Amino acid sequence: MNQDTQVSFEAVDGSEAGDGGVEHGALLSRLCEAIFSGDADHLASVRDDVLEVAGADVLVDAVAVSANFYMMTRIADGTGTPLDAGSIEPSAEIRELVGVNNFTSRREAHL
Amino acid sequence: MAAYATELPIRPDLDASHAEVARRWATSGAWWSGAERLAMVEEVRRARDGDQLAPWVSPSQIDGLIAEDHVLPSAAVDAIWRLTNHPGTLTAEWHASILSQGVNPEAYVELVGVVSQANAVDRFADALNLTRVDLPEPSFDEPPQLTNDSATVTSHWVPTVPIKGPNVVKALSAVPFEGDSMNLLLEAQYVKMGSLLGDLVSDQNSLTRMQVEVLAARTSKLNECFY
């Protein structure tokens, strides 16, 4: 991977949208969706897919990253954390693309 | 002692971080005793495993759901369930309503820390079909309950201390012990603090940084987190 890699936000939008230029992007997105759903059978099926396609190390590390954001989202939303002042303008287009502007949790830094 | 017994290749630093955070849950914090902090973790588990309540329904309003002699005040239990199951619905008014029921602002910060960590650690175990981490025996030391004089309400709903870093890292700064626990998990499960914004290209264990960010962003969106 290098800084010239072309990526898009498809995999962030949902697993049906494609890889977005990220290796196994759609599969990793599907793993996130299965973890969120809490459906044990669906999750077991997606785990098997990740094991087969990417391996056990990737499965464990991917689950760890996703699980970490069950912490970070609750810290941000439980404390009223505003967007960082320096990221409001640079992230405006991305926020529009990934469709988060209507979330109840929208809070921007006071400039 | 290892946190997990499994044939899956859980990195030693990742396993150790979960064991250490479980140990920290059982110690007395700044505002809550070890027994109260472990009760928060148990309540996260009850909130996740039980029938889902609508965001506007507080578990303390439902007859028989919460024991009358619960070690935690009702407002704390209600906050734990809402944080666990509906984090994207939280508002400043909701936060104010929790404080108005007698929860100290910094005690609330500590609660958010413990509850958030428990959500991450248990979600990891559940997603890999592992037994959740064992909870140690609690410390019986009394929490000092001393206000952090350098913490004030400025940018967040909660009091924070003026430290460098992203706002979400600053969120728990009024209770440094919880900020340290968050960093332990964040570095083992996501990226090292130094790489958070300083190195956006290096691989992270078996994942590329772009794969890490897809996982982070997709999970955050599923949780309806604007930040």
Cross-chain Cβ contact A63/B127 below 8 Å: yes
Q: How many CB atoms lie within 10 A of CB B65?
A: 16
Query: B132 lies in a domain?
Result: yes
* Most confidently modeled range among A17-21, B50-54, B155-159: B155-159
In angstroms, the separation between the Cα of residue A1 and the nearest Cα of chain B is 7
Q: Which of A61-65, A96-100, B99-103, B156-160 has the lowest mean pLDDT?
A: A96-100
**Residue A18: per-residue pLDDT:** 77
Query: B188 lies in a domain?
Result: no
Residue range A96-103: mean pLDDT, rounded: 78
Segment 46-105 of chain A within 8 Å of chain B by CB: 47, 55-84, 95, 98-101, 103-105
Q: Which of B8-22, B36-50, B195-209 has the lowest mean pLDDT?
A: B195-209
Indicate the pLDDT class of residue A2, thresholds 50, 70 and 90.
Answer: very low
Q: Is B160 helix (H, G, I), strand (E, B) or coil?
A: strand
Indicate the pLDDT class of residue A6, thresholds 50, 70 and 90.
Answer: low
Query: B93 lies in a domain?
Result: yes
What are the structural domain ranges in chain A?
Answer: 10-66, 80-111
User: What is the domain extent for residue B139?
Assistant: 12-147
- Shared domain check, B140 and B39: yes
Q: Is B149 helix (H, G, I), strand (E, B) or coil?
A: coil
Cross-chain Cβ contact B189/A76 below 8 Å: no
Indicate the pLDDT class of residue A1, thresholds 50, 70 and 90.
Answer: very low
pLDDT tens-digit map of A49-72: 999 999 999 999 999 999 999 999
- pLDDT of residue B71 exceeding 80, the answer is yes
Cross-chain Cβ contact B215/A43 below 8 Å: no
Query: B17 lies in a domain?
Result: yes
Q: Is A55 helix (H, G, I), strand (E, B) or coil?
A: coil
Buried b (16+ CB within 10 A) or exposed e, B89-99: bbeeebbeebb
Inter-chain contacts counted by CB atoms under 8 A, chains A and B: 248
Query: B169 lies in a domain?
Result: no
Query: B101 lies in a domain?
Result: yes
- Shared domain check, B210 and B100: no
Residue of chain B minimizing CA distance to A87? B166
Cross-chain Cβ contact A61/B119 below 8 Å: no
A111–chain B Cβ distance below 8 A for any pair: no
Contact indicator for B21, B181 with CB cutoff of 8 Å: yes
* Model ipTM value: 0.96
- Closest by CA to B145, choosing from B87, B192, B185, B105, is B105
**Residue B201: per-residue pLDDT:** 81
B120–chain A Cβ distance below 8 A for any pair: yes
Mutate to test the interface with A, among B218, B220, B223 (most CBs of A within 10 A): B218
Query: B140 lies in a domain?
Result: yes
Q: How many domains does chain B have?
A: 2
- Shared domain check, B105 and B31: yes
CA-only gyration radius of chain B, Å: 18
